Amino acid sequence: MGQLTDFRVALQNSLSTAMGIEFRSGMIEGPVEDRTVGCVWTAGVREWDQDVNLEQVFVMVRIFKQWRQQQGFANTQVSELETLVESLQDTLKPLQAQFQGMWQFRLQEIEIDLETSGLEATLVCLRDNRFAKGG
């Protein structure tokens, strides 16, 4: 497997173990009615505008809390999603130095989507630009 796949799989497995949630490869659309589930995928790669010898890799993480539309929205749902945001942040922080292939990654953004009872996080990773000389 390549670096992108290795990183995504390692991230997916680490999140699953630490958070106790099943994570799948690729993009899942919510809401999800039968279980809490997450997904991880690589959204794109681009040359870093600050240094052409590096490239940015954008990795997306989605998590959907189990929820049925007939339940309606409740304050507990909002609180659970806010707690899930903080849990994801706490889980990702110690992982930053553990993965091979990527120099570093940072959590750029987490958006809560109340309509799907989910959240979507954007991770930005830096690595050697594979297209640059010597990359």
Band of residue 95 on the pLDDT scale cut at 50, 70, 90: confident
Band of residue 134 on the pLDDT scale cut at 50, 70, 90: low
* pTM higher than the cut 0.85: yes
What's the average model confidence in pLDDT over 20-36?
92
Residues 6+ apart with CB under 8 A from 107: 88, 89, 92, 121, 122, 123
Q: Which CATH class is domain 3-128?
A: alpha beta
The reported pLDDT for the residue numbered 103 is 74
Residue-averaged pLDDT of the chain = 88
Sequence-distant contacts of 8-11: CB under 8 A, at least 24 apart: 8/40, 8/41, 8/42, 8/59, 10/98, 10/99, 10/100, 11/40, 11/59, 11/61, 11/95, 11/99, 11/123
Cα Rg of the chain, angstroms: 16
